């Protein structure tokens, strides 16, 4: 059985806390490893090493930092298959999906190669007579990332590429459920020439998280996970004087208007609801069928479900793998029961799917006639369960989304450009798709939701990521002629 250690000062470090957590292969139910859980003292050691490394790294020239990012990007591309295999072995998602995750993370490395341009400040000559004013961006020092199980490579890459390129040292606390991807990333950073200590991994649970949130030398915390934890991270981190961005859970609605291309909408709903077994923060979990599109749309979605293949992520014919754990699978199955008991129509029941072996499998579920008071609507299920809510009008559909607790992504399917434009104007969500079901922004925009899907005010990666991981300084400068110098107690003015 594999022992999964920490990564500190450019090398693996076996944990000393005496606490570990089991790691499983969700496709078989077998325990494959044991991950060390860091104590507060081990976190403090990692932060101390990172602090030393940060001092030298911020002095590295922009072109040197860019060179490391270029090399890291090449290594990531070369080792994408290995990384995808590691993801599948601990997360369970199918290999093609894992490769997709790596590809999206790689885009963040590509964005960060442009760091010399991204760090540019502004310059105003002659703001007053003989006075120039300019702004510069500087790194924060040591920053931390705390990440969820569902994207064990992509979400760390959202954060660390930008943070490191900007001149910070980055300490990652990955999910204890699938921690091995983080260690492979650490090795790639080392191979890319990143100085020791600039990228560290501390594996752990609540104790490690609390140690990071309260450590005086951690300047900022970037978090992705569930909403209750995101809120806790934001409140605790900011109470300890840190800059925090904490992305939470989601309930993403896909509105289908009566004029939509029906087959394309059904394909999109099925892909976005059941891909990665619904364990995506941008998964479509609610289809809002407007008007008389509802019956044909539900039929079209239902017709596609028997053709989906479920199996181990390593099986090239499988489209959907297992869930992350037995506990989570049972929780999701419980929601199907709750939905039926509350009066939803069970069009397809995932509990009936049979996959041989002890993997954490659940088939796909389609619930129709779901209403906003049902738990299957209000809660983030995070599994292969798609709810259909029927709305009489476009206005009702938008009201539903805007009254929902979450505001991560949303999408509209229509042939009417005016309706789509109105939707983009009206809807309270951070990421909007027009005939695109999973509108994850490309790396040169930024990713983030609204409402209970994000605590803090900067989105992740892209321009917001640079903003989050740097602070600006504004310099007012004069090179006076000593002959013109005089005492003046008045407030500085430019006119």
Tell me the three-class secondary structure of the chain, residue by residue: CEEECEEECCEEECCCCCCEEEEEECCCCEEEEEEECCCHHHHHHHHHHHHHHHHHHCCCCHHHHHHHHHHHHHHHHHCHHHHHHHHHHHHCCCHHHHHHHHHHHHHHHHHHCCHHHHCCCCEEEEEECCEEEEEEEEECCEEEEECCCCCCCHHHHHHHHHHHHCCCEEEEECCCCCCHHHHHHHHHHHHCCCCCCCEEECCCCHHHHHHHHHCCCEEEEEEECCHHHHHHHHHHHHHCCCEEEEECCCCEEEEECCCCCHHHHHHHHHHHHHHHHHCCCCCEEEEEEEHHHHHHHHHHHHHHHHHCCECCCCCCCCCECCCCCHHHHHHHHHHHHHHHHHCCEEEECHHHCCCCCCCCCCCCEEEECCCCCCHHHHCCCCCCEEEEEEECCHHHHHHHHHHCCEECEEEEECCCHHHHHHHHHHCCCCEEEECCCCCCCCCCCCECCEECCEECCCCECHHHHHHHCEEEEEEEEECCCHHHCCCCCCCCCCC
Measured CA angle at 4 (ends 218, 212), to 5 deg: 15
CB of 448 to ligand NAD, least distance (A): 7
CB of 103 to ligand NAD, least distance (A): 17
- Residue partners of 44: CB distance under 8 A and separation at least 6: 211, 215
Q: Which is nearer to ligand NAD, 155 or 286 (CB)?
A: 155
Catalytic residue from among 281, 284, 366, 381: 281
Contact 170, 196 (CB under 8 A): no
Give residues in contact with ligand NAD (CB under 6 A): 146-151, 155, 173, 175-176, 205-206, 209, 224-226, 229, 232, 247-250, 281, 380, 382, 408, 449, 453
Contact 83, 181 (CB under 8 A): yes
Q: Which is nearer to ligand NAD, 175 or 319 (CB)?
A: 175
Rounded Cα distance, 454 and 280, in Å:
15
Q: Which is nearer to ligand NAD, 57 or 377 (CB)?
A: 377
Is 281 labeled as catalytic in the residue annotation? yes
Q: Which is nearer to ligand NAD, 38 or 68 (CB)?
A: 38
Report the DSSP pairing between strands 345-348 and 365-368. Answer: antiparallel
Measured CA angle at 388 (ends 300, 152), to 5 deg: 95
CB of 92 to ligand NAD, least distance (A): 13
Q: Which is nearer to ligand NAD, 261 or 379 (CB)?
A: 379
Q: Which residue is nearest to ligand NAD (CB)?
A: 225
Q: Which is nearer to ligand NAD, 211 or 265 (CB)?
A: 211
Q: Which is nearer to ligand NAD, 226 or 428 (CB)?
A: 226
CB of 439 to ligand NAD, least distance (A): 12
Q: Which is nearer to ligand NAD, 95 or 154 (CB)?
A: 154
CB of 94 to ligand NAD, least distance (A): 18
Q: Which is nearer to ligand NAD, 151 or 335 (CB)?
A: 151
Known catalytic residues are 281
């Amino acid at each position: 059985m594999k022992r999964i250690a920490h990564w500190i000062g450019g090398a693996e470090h076996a944990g000393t806390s005496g606490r570990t957590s089991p790691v499983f292969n969700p496709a078989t139910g077998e325990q494959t490893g044991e991950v060390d859980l860091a104590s507060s003292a081990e976190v403090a050691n990692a932060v101390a090493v990172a602090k030393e490394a940060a001092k030298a790294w911020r002095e590295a020239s922009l072109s040197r930092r860019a060179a490391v990012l270029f090399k890291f990007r090449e290594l990531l591309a070369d080792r994408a298959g290995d990384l995808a295999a590691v993801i599948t072995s601990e997360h369970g998602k199918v290999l093609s999906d894992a490769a997709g995750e790596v590809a999206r993370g790689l885009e963040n490395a590509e964005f960060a190669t442009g760091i010399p341009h991204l760090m540019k400040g502004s310059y105003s000559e002659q703001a007053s007579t003989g006075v120039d004013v300019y702004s510069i961006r500087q790194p924060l020092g040591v920053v931390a990332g705390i990440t969820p199980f569902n994207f064990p490579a992509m979400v760390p890459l959202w954060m660390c590429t930008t943070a490191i390129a900007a001149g910070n040292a980055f300490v990652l606390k990955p999910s204890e459920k699938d921690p091995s991807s983080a260690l492979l990333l650490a090795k790639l950073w080392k191979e890319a020439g990143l100085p020791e200590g600039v990228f560290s991994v501390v594996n752990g649970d609540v104790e490690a998280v609390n140690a990071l949130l309260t450590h005086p030398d951690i300047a900022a915390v970037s978090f992705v996970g569930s909403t209750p934890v995101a809120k806790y991270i934001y409140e605790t981190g900011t109470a300890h004087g840190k800059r925090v961005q904490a992305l939470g859970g989601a309930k993403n609605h896909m509105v289908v208007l009566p004029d939509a291309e029906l087959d394309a909408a059904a394909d999109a709903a099925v892909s976005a609801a059941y891909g990665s077994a619904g364990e995506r923060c941008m998964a479509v979990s609610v289809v809002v069928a407007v008007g008389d599109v509802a019956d044909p749309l539900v039929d079209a979605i239902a017709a596609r479900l028997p053709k989906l293949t479920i199996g181990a992520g390593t099986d090239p014919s499988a489209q959907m793998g297992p869930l992350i754990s037995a506990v989570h699978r049972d929780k999701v199955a419980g929601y199907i029961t709750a939905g039926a008991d509350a009066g939803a129509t069970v069009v397809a029941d995932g509990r009936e799917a049979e996959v041989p072996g002890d993997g954490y499998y659940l088939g796909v579920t389609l619930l129709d006639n779901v209403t906003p008071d049902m738990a299957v609507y209000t809660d983030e299920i995070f599994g292969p369960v798609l709810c259909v809510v029927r709305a009489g009008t476009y206005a009702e559909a938008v009201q539903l989304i805007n009254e929902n607790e979450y505001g991560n992504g949303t999408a509209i399917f229509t042939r009417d450009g005016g309706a789509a434009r109105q939707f983009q104007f009206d809807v309270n969500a951070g990421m909007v798709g027009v005939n695109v079901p999973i509108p994850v922004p490309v790396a040169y925009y930024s990713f983030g939701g609204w409402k209970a899907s994000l605590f803090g005010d900067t989105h992740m990666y892209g321009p917001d990521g640079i903003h989050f991981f740097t602070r600006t300084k504004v310099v007012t400068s004069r090179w006076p002629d000593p002959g013109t110098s005089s005492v003046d107690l008045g407030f500085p003015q430019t006119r």
